[in-house]
Structure 1
C-alpha cells in the first residue's frame, strides 16, 4: 500500500529491476524489509524531491545500497579512532549482529536507518536523526510509510519535507542505466 502511494506521489514509472536478493541478503546475513525491496526494484537509487537520497541500486557508488553499507561497516570497524562509531550509541550492522543499516539521507544531513538484529529477522524499526534537532527518533513503521510521510506530510516533525515545497519528483542517481534501459 505505501509503496503504491510513493509511486503515485512521485508519478514515477516503475523500473521493474531484476535483483538477486539471495546474494544481497546472503552478504548481509538477514532478509531486508519486503517493502524496501519493492522500492529498490521500482526506483533503483536516486533523489526524491531534490533533497532525499535513497539508497538502492545504482551504477555509481553514491546511491548503491550495498556499496554504502560496506563502506560504513569498514569505517565503523576501523580501530584508528578507537571504539567511536559514527552512529553512536549504536554501531553499523555486521552480519550476525545488531546495528544500523542506512537506506537514506537528506542534503540537510538527516539520516535514515533500520535497526537490524540478526536474532530478530523481520523486525525493521526505522531510526532517524536530524542534526538540527539531535538525537535518534524511532519509528515503528515500514520504510515506504516513513518515506511517504517525509515526502508528503509537512507535519511529520522533524523530517517532513513537504513544508519546504520541494516537490515530490524522483531522479535516478546516475545517468547510467542499471538494467540496460536508458534514463530519461
Structure 2
C-alpha cells in the first residue's frame, strides 16, 4: 500500500445492526432470498477469545442471517461456520501477514498498524482481485469501528461507517469506489 486516497463519511452512520441489514438488502435486492431458515450456532465466544477482541454486532448479525456471500462477483464476506470458528480465525491471522507487509509499505504520514496493535487493522472481507476490507479496531468499542479499504492497486482509504453499511453504500454508489471496480447489486452464496 503506497497511497492514502482519503476518508469518506456516510450521510448518517447506521449504528443499529437492525438498520444496517435492511440498507444492505435494499442495495442488493436478491440478498433477502438467501436468508438462512435458522440462525447458525456460531460460537462467538470461542471466535472472539481466539481473536482477542469482541467483533461488531452488525457483522455478527450478517453472519447469523446469511451464509457466506459473494457480492457483485467481486467481494466475499462471511463469518465462521459452527464448529469451525478456529479455522475462520486462522484465516484472519494468515491475512494479517499480508496486511503487516502492506502497513510497513504505507506512507508514514498516516501510520497503519495490523491488529493486534491498538487501533490495528483486522480483515473482515476480501475481493477476488486481492483487495482487503478491514476494521480499524479503535478507538472505541467494536460497534464504533470503521472500515479501511486496502486496494491491490496500492491505494487505501477509510470509511467512517460500519462494515454492513459500507457494503450497502459501496453497492448503491453512496461512496466513491476509490481504486475499486463497480460492484453490481448481485449476490450468491459463497
Flag whether TM exceeds 0.5 (same fold).
Answer: yes
Alignment match, 1:29? 52
Alignment match, 1:179? none
Alignment match, 2:114? 92
Alignment match, 1:104? 125
Alignment match, 1:178? none
Matched, 1:38 2:56: no
Matched, 1:169 2:187: yes
Contiguous gaps of at least 5 residues in structure 1:
78-83, 173-184
Matched, 1:121 2:141: yes
For residues 19 and 156 of structure 1, what CA distance do their matches in structure 2 show? 34
Query: Using a 3 Å threshold, how does the CA distance of structure 1 residues 32 and 87 change in structure 2: closer, same or farther?
Result: same
Alignment match, 1:180? none
**What TM-score results when the alignment is normalised by the length of structure 2?**
0.68
Alignment match, 2:43? 20
1:87-134 superposed Cα distances (whole Å, 9 cap, x missing partner) = 33433312x7441111112223222100114x73333110012233x3
RMSD: 2.9
For residues 97 and 27 of structure 1, what CA distance do their matches in structure 2 show? 17
**What TM-score results when the alignment is normalised by the length of structure 1?**
0.70
Task: Report if the CA contact (8 A) 1:152-1:160 is conserved.
Answer: no
Query: Using a 3 Å threshold, how does the CA distance of structure 1 residues 147 and 76 change in structure 2: closer, same or farther?
Result: closer
Alignment match, 2:13? none
Task: Report if the CA contact (8 A) 1:30-1:121 is conserved.
Answer: no
Query: Using a 3 Å threshold, how does the CA distance of structure 1 residues 56 and 161 change in structure 2: closer, same or farther?
Result: farther
- Count of aligned pairs: 156
Alignment match, 2:161? 141
Alignment match, 2:16? none
Query: Using a 3 Å threshold, how does the CA distance of structure 1 residues 66 and 137 change in structure 2: closer, same or farther?
Result: same
Q: Which has the higher contact order (CA 8 A, sep 6+)?
A: 2
Misfit runs of 4+, over 6 Å: none
For residues 2 and 139 of structure 1, what CA distance do their matches in structure 2 show? 15
